[in-house]
Amino acid sequence: MLAFVDLQTKEFPVSSVQALVEAAKRQIREIDPAELQQLQQTGVPIIDVREPAEYAAGHFPGAVNIPRGVLEFEVDGHPAVNCQRDPALGHRGQPVVVACRSGGRSALAAAALKQLGFVEPLSLRGGFQGWIQAGLPVEK
């Protein structure tokens, strides 16, 4: 059985990974590809939490790759993973967009960033797949 810690640090059991993702989505705001494209014009940081090979195959213009498995450690430059704080994370008081392949990992990552004090972590609904389906530009 999986457990998810909500923002009030109260645990509740969930029955599947999908339930865990849905619980995370209730705690954050999701945006669609068109909204992300508008936010790109403002310089909002975009964190692609996919694995490096996924990122290398194609990614959002201007996105920085910080894999889901180390994101929380990179927030404060945790020495356990020999990280320095990535400036792409911006400031906790400013918006940051988190994206993945389809929206699940980014929802979990955005919820984790919210728990770490980020006031406006946004998750891209539909992820990179939705971005491509919308016909938006890709970098390699």
pLDDT for 81: 53
Residue 139: inside a domain:
no
Calpha distance 7→47 (Å, rounded): 22
Type of residue numbered 78: H
CATH number at residue 109: 3.40.250.10
Residue 20: inside a domain:
no
Q: Within 13 A of 125's CA, how many CA atoms are on the CB side?
A: 11
What pLDDT digit, counting tens, does each position of 61-117 carry? 999 999 999 998 888 776 655 566 667 666 788 899 999 999 999 999 999 999 999
Boundaries of domain holding 47: 28-133
Burial tier of 7 (Cβ tally within 10 Å: 0-12, 13-18, 19+): exposed
Residue 119: inside a domain:
yes
pLDDT confidence of 14, banded at 50, 70, 90?
confident
Residues noted as catalytic: 100
The number of domains in the chain is: 1
Residue 22: inside a domain:
no
Residue 80: inside a domain:
yes
Residue 37: inside a domain:
yes
pLDDT for 9: 41
What pLDDT digit, counting tens, does each position of 19-50 carry? 999 999 999 999 999 999 999 999 999 999 99
Residue 13: inside a domain:
no
pLDDT for 7: 42
